[in-house]
Amino acid sequence: MRESAGKLVNEHEQLTAGNSNRVALKLPPWIPSDPDMWMTLVDRTFDVAKITYVATALDLSVIMEVRDIVMNPPASEPYKTLTKALVNRLSVYQELKTGRLLKKEEMGDSKPSQFLRRLRALTGAAVSDDLLRTLWSGRLPRSVQAIIVSQKDSKLDDVAELADATP
């Protein structure tokens, strides 16, 4: 029941192997709007703490969503399966994220590059950079729009840096 990375192992196997070392671990708060980010933070926390049994460190409300996998892990890639299931089952539906992007998300007091990163986080891979550029630039102040309009051939991140430097 081991994955090559060794992140998910049978708890009984770990406890009977004479490993009595315990690590106090505080997981980051659950991020319902971005489970991918939460899993990345958890992965890094586990790597630093050398945690090998993921399921015992998860919050009860989260673990119950993947009970079937914890109770009967697949023979191959159990950690990857668990991670994918957590993200799929607990993510805000992409349609809702995209709807929020199309209807509500405004720049506010953010710098243009921060606003772009926020839009990217909402869209994931669901929106092309061309569409993202259109949505992003259309919500920038008119003075910034006038400056970046000539940057159609530049990378979007480079345009965002230029927009940050615009007064």
Token pair recorded at residue 139: 């919500």
Residue 2: inside a domain = no
Mark whether 86 and 15 lie in a shared domain. Answer: yes
Do residue 155 and residue 113 come from a single domain?
A: yes
CA gap 64, 69 in Å, rounded: 10
Domain count, the chain: 2
The widest CA-to-CA distance across the chain, in whole angstroms, is 67
* Residue 58 DSSP symbol: S
Model pLDDT, residue 114: 93
The lowest-confidence range among 85-94, 106-115, 152-161 is 85-94
With CA atoms as reference, report the closest residue to 139 among 99, 105, 95.
105
Query: What does the angle CA 41 – CA 42 – CA 45 come to, to the nearest 5 degrees?
Result: 90
Residue 2 or 66, more confident? 66
Q: Which domain holds residue 81?
A: 11-90
What's residue 24's pLDDT? Answer: 64
Domain-terminating residue out of 90, 106, 121: 90
At 93-128, the pLDDT tens digits run: 556 666 666 677 788 888 999 999 988 887 766 678
- Assigned domain for 153 exists: yes
Quote the radius of gyration of the chain (alpha carbons, Å): 21
Which amino acid type is present at position 157?
D
Q: Of 44, 75, 90, which one is at a domain's C-terminal end?
A: 90
**Pair (33, 71) in one structural domain:** yes
Q: How confident is the model at residue 58 (pLDDT cuts 50, 70, 90)?
A: low
